Amino acid sequence: MAKLVDEVKIFVKAGDGGSGCASFRREKYVPRGGPDGGDGGYGGNIYLQSTPLANSLVHLTKKQHYYAERGGNGRKKCLQGKKGKDLVLQVPLGTVLIEDVGDNILHDFRKEERLLIAEGGKGGKGNARFATSTHQAPRRAEKGKGGEERWIRLVLKLLADIAIIGLPNAGKSTLLSALTSANSKIAAYPFTTLNPVLGMLELEDYRSFVVADMPPLIKGSHKGEGLGNRFLRHIERCKLLLHIIDSSTGGAGQLSARLEEVDSELAEANQALSKIPQIVVLNKIDLLGDRKRCKSLASPFEEKGLEYCFISALQRQGIDELLNLIDKELDEQKLEQSKGEEKLQLERH
């Protein structure tokens, strides 16, 4: 699987404007032809184009400096120079454009759009532009203006609706495969998921949602332990978290401690992450010797008022119940959002 590149720093320079031309009309039987130098062409612009076809910034790591084409010089017979060719850099949806100095957010690409980030220089005027009734043979021509240049940072935050989180070996990749058609790497050792993996969840009413299998979190991830917290930015825009826990080992207290361990890492990294709604997914019930234990294992989550369900992602048991909980939670969020929009409209009027 290709490495996810979610942050790059690049230098962009728009094309310089072409220089104006200083020339005079020289034709047979026209001994006193006037100035006929044309203007220089505009330099090419540089744009960022967001597209759903890209899912990483890896294509922008091949080089660090990007230049648009320079405008052509003006020519005699008042011919204007050719405009420089624009340069369009494609970025995935969810990319944030950040100013290199000051870390100011300049733009957030949440839909398909094209943004001008460096404007090409204006072409210089040819000497034909400077002719007047009192100065009929100007030899002056302007040089083209320089194109804009800047260093920028691009940071990708995946536009996933649902994120699967949890400790190593909890079964996140298997759950993603059970919910979607994504092919995640599945193995019996920690950190098999090194980069977020996306899949598409389709519900019966033809609604679809993007699900992201996130790299595992461990104690100290917010300080850089394990794979660190650099991937947590991809959770920030999620509507729902599926917090998967291995229920095949340990008692109710241990399962609760595993939940709190991951939740505390989220809160330490970013308080906003701890406010995203969660469904606790207690996985690997196929390994439980006695299914009657489920009720006692669920007691800590019932006491906390959390939505939960028991599943076996490997054997596809309990997936329908989980889908119903996901559907219910997203419906409630949609209803709350529409109520908020109605209230905002009433306040405006």
What CATH code is carried by the domain that includes residue 299? Answer: 3.40.50.300
Answer whether residue 227 shows pLDDT above 90.
Answer: no
Of 68-72, 194-198, 237-241, 290-294, minimum mean pLDDT range: 194-198
pLDDT averaged over every residue in the chain:
85
Task: Residue 52: count other Cβ atoms within 10 Å of its Cβ.
Answer: 11
pLDDT band at residue 53 under the 50/70/90 scheme: confident
In this structure, are 190 and 318 located in the same domain? yes
CATH number at residue 100: 2.70.210.12
Number of folded domains that form the chain: 2
Kindly tell me the sign of the dihedral angle through the C-alpha atoms of 92, 96, 97, 100: negative
Pick the closest to residue 265 from 238, 225, 294 (CA basis). 225
Answer whether residue 192 shows pLDDT above 50.
Answer: no
In this structure, are 202 and 145 located in the same domain? no
In this structure, are 199 and 107 located in the same domain? no
- pLDDT 10s digits, 304-337: 899 999 999 999 999 999 999 999 998 888 888 7
Q: Which domain-ending residue is among 98, 122, 157?
A: 157
Pick the closest to residue 170 from 311, 299, 276 (CA basis). 311
For position 31, what pLDDT does the model report? 66
In this structure, are 126 and 189 located in the same domain? no
In this structure, are 184 and 240 located in the same domain? yes
For position 190, what pLDDT does the model report? 43
pTM for this entry: 0.70
